Amino acid sequence: MRTLIRNGMVVTAADEMYADVLIDGEKIVALAATGSETAASWAPGAGKVLDATGLYVIPGGVDGHTHMQMPFGGTFAADTFETGTRAAAWGGTTTIVDFAIQSVGASLREGLDAWHAKAAGVCAIDYGFHMIVSDVNEPVLKEMDVLVGEGVSSFKLFMAYPGVFYSDDGRILRAMQRAAGNGGLIMMHAENGIAIDVLVEQALAAGKTDPRYHGEVRRALLESEATYRAIQLARVAEAPLYVVHVSAAEAVTELARAKDLGLNVFGETCPQYLFLSTDDLARPDFEGAKYVCSTPLRPAEHQAALWRALRTDDLSVVSTDHCPFCFSGQKDLGRGDFSKIPNGLPGVENRMDLLHQAVVDGHISRRRWIELACATPARMFGLYPRKGTLAPGADADVVLYDPNAAYTISAETHHMNVDYSAYEGRRVAGRPRTVLSRGTVVIEDGSYVGEAGHGHFVARSTCQYLR
Ligand SMILES: NC(=O)NCCC(=O)O
Ligand SMILES: [Zn+2]
Ligand SMILES: [Zn+2]
């Protein structure tokens, strides 16, 4: 069936123009200036016509960092692939790249198979996987080559969480050397977890048990030190590096230095670091637990450095690190000991709107919004131009976005499977009106009309963002 989207302002990372978009089945087949003879000729053959007058027509969001059903601290992230991808669709995101996890002592294959089993047949939108490597050894290094061939072309390593996901520098170097040879992208959780664990122990011994101490022990210097070290290891290995969830201004400085040297080092931040701060972590009555994530929220002064870096491309991607735990029953696990609070925040539904608000507030341009949230993550993770843009041949993942549909974010109205919103009460300027995933309408004028299982696994090529 042919679908025609008319009269909207098409916004991609490269252009803004009034254009009509013609879709045939799952793909975009053509764009033409609104009112042109070409565009007019499409109307009679279209089975479905969507009027985008007054709306932006943008590529579906690509969220390159989510954790559906992630096991953490004795519990599981509250969104399943079914609920989480549905919430993503509500928020104008049409592709997620989630993290499959290798357990210590197990193979990558076992971890990846388990994540395929969780996601298969239940997703509302398309999805891919990165692989968390918790146990670097010879067989695992060989498996990395196989996974790249299967479209799982990025590997997350942790300098934090000793005894769980942590890798020491030798293991990190080996994995980076392997990635340099097979085209894989190493993603780094850059925090000095060994030093942090000492500070955690000391804080608890001093009776500092409240959520706000989570932010105090995870010092900005320990983020920037790890970022620096990861960059140097990547230089030695001659491998590209993508640093996830950057929150500290000092870490941004390290990324900027690497960029000035022309290195293939890239940084990601998340809305929580742009819009929330240690003031939220310090909320009374254990409410701060809602804001416990790692890297942690920082004092609000860090935000200016993050916004600036998003403009200069010292930070290239905004993902959510969506990893929701309910306040009641999950965050609760850390009452009396902040180190037991499951780490992570919900946000997969909020990212596109919060970043659009950043456009309204003058932090970034409209095209940069699309670049940070759609095009660059698609390039970074080998999905472009199938995802992340509106062009002939691309998947018809399209959002009709109403820039004037102001609303207040609230857990009362969101669709994520979690009992609070990190952005409760925040007013944002726009929201998706209609969302298409591979040509199928999944959100239509405020209703979910998609289906569990419509979303497919997407095999990715290697990073397309290298300098
Ligand atoms: N970020 C966070 O607090 N939880 C998810 C796991 C991770 O990304 O490190
Ligand atoms: Zn992490
Ligand atoms: Zn994460």
pTM of the model: 0.98
Is residue 227 over pLDDT 90? yes
Residues with CB under 6 A from ligand 1: 67, 189, 245, 293-294, 321, 323, 343-344
Say if CB 148 and CB 154 are below 8 A apart: no
Residue 344 backbone phi and psi in degrees, to 5:
145, 155
Residue owning the nearest CA to atom 2 of ligand 1: 344
Per-chain mean pLDDT for the chain? 98
What are the tens digits of pLDDT across the range 373-406?
Answer: 999 999 999 999 999 999 999 999 999 999 999 9
Map 340-392 to HEC letters. HCCCCECCCCCHHHHHHHHHHCCCCCHHHHHHHHHHHHHHHCCCCCCCCCCCC
Say if CB 349 and CB 90 are below 8 A apart: yes
Confidence of residue 2 (pLDDT cuts 50, 70, 90): very high
Say if CB 337 and CB 209 are below 8 A apart: yes
Confidence of residue 409 (pLDDT cuts 50, 70, 90): very high
Mean pLDDT across the stretch 303-325?
98
User: Closest-lying ligand to the alpha carbon of 99?
Assistant: 3
Q: How far is the CA of 455 from the centre of ligand 2 (A)?
A: 25
Rounded to whole angstroms, the Cα distance separating 339 from 86 reads 31
Is residue 445 over pLDDT 90? no
Residue owning the nearest CA to atom 5 of ligand 1: 344
Identity of residue 123:
C
Domains in the chain, ordered, with CATH? 60-380 (3.20.20.140)
Residues 6+ apart with CB under 8 A from 350: 91, 271, 320, 409, 414, 421, 422, 423
What integer pLDDT is reported at residue 10 of this predicted model?
A: 98
- Largest Cα separation within the chain, whole Å, is 74
Q: How far is the CA of 57 from the centre of ligand 1 (A)?
A: 32
Q: Is 205 helix (H, G, I), strand (E, B) or coil?
A: helix
Residue 20 in tokens: 């009509």
What integer pLDDT is reported at residue 203 of this predicted model?
A: 98
Is residue 351 over pLDDT 90? yes
CA angle, 18 then 23 then 26, to 5° = 140
Rg of the Cα trace of the chain? 21
What is the distance in angstroms between the CA of the first residue and the CA of the last residue of the chain? Answer: 40
Q: How far is the CA of 369 from the centre of ligand 2 (A)?
A: 23
Confidence of residue 186 (pLDDT cuts 50, 70, 90): very high
Identity of residue 345:
L
Ligand 1 pocket mutation pick from 187, 293, 348 by most atoms within 8 angstroms of CB: 293
What integer pLDDT is reported at residue 231 of this predicted model?
A: 98
Mean pLDDT across the stretch 146-166?
98
Residue owning the nearest CA to atom 9 of ligand 1: 294
Mean pLDDT across the stretch 334-345?
98
What are the tens digits of pLDDT across the range 53-105?
Answer: 999 999 999 999 999 999 999 999 999 999 999 999 999 999 999 999 999 99
Identity of residue 29:
V
What integer pLDDT is reported at residue 176 of this predicted model?
A: 98
Q: How far is CA 57 from CA 39, 46, 49, 433, in A?
A: 15, 18, 14, 10
What integer pLDDT is reported at residue 4 of this predicted model?
A: 98
In this structure, the number of other CB atoms found within 10 A of the CB of residue 75 comes to 16
What are the tens digits of pLDDT across the range 3-33?
Answer: 999 999 999 999 999 999 999 999 999 999 9
Q: How far is the CA of 288 from the centre of ligand 3 (A)?
A: 19
Residue owning the nearest CA to atom 8 of ligand 1: 321
Residues with CB under 5 Å of ion ligand 2 are: 189
User: Closest-lying ligand to the alpha carbon of 157?
Assistant: 2
Say if CB 423 and CB 409 are below 8 A apart: yes
What integer pLDDT is reported at residue 264 of this predicted model?
A: 98
Mean pLDDT across the stretch 229-255?
98
CA angle, 306 then 307 then 310, to 5° = 85
Place of tokens 């990558």: 108
Tally of residues, the chain: 467
